[in-house]
Amino acid sequence: MTYVVTENCIACKYTDCVEVCPVDCFYEGENTLVIHPDECIDCGVCEPECPADAIRPDTEPGMEQWVEFNRKFSEQWPVIVTKKDPLPEAEERDGEEGKMEKYFSEAPGEGG
């Protein structure tokens, strides 16, 4: 099992999760985070830290696409280990449907 970041992180990018991760397996895109599925040790400490409820175990139905999404972008984006402010529109966009199509950017974040 591994944990993955799902669509609700897009356009929010809360980073509470990165501070508690013991193995630094979060990677930062311009407007979302991902978890490297091969680096995640399945400890689960990140899941309750996410205000947007965007971190899910890969054992839930329909998570296969998110495992591949997380794998792809964790290999392209810089690691992030320090908490940053969420995106300015995070509160309004939390829970919004269709965020992948509307807002997702493949551009890397700054990391850090």
Give the pLDDT confidence score for residue 57 in this predicted structure. Answer: 97
**Phi-psi map region of 4: left, alpha, beta (phi>0 left; psi -120 to 50 alpha):** beta
CA angle 32, 29, 39 (to 5 degrees): 90
* % of the chain surpassing 90 pLDDT: 99
pLDDT in tens, 24-69: 999 999 999 999 999 999 999 999 999 999 999 999 999 999 999 9
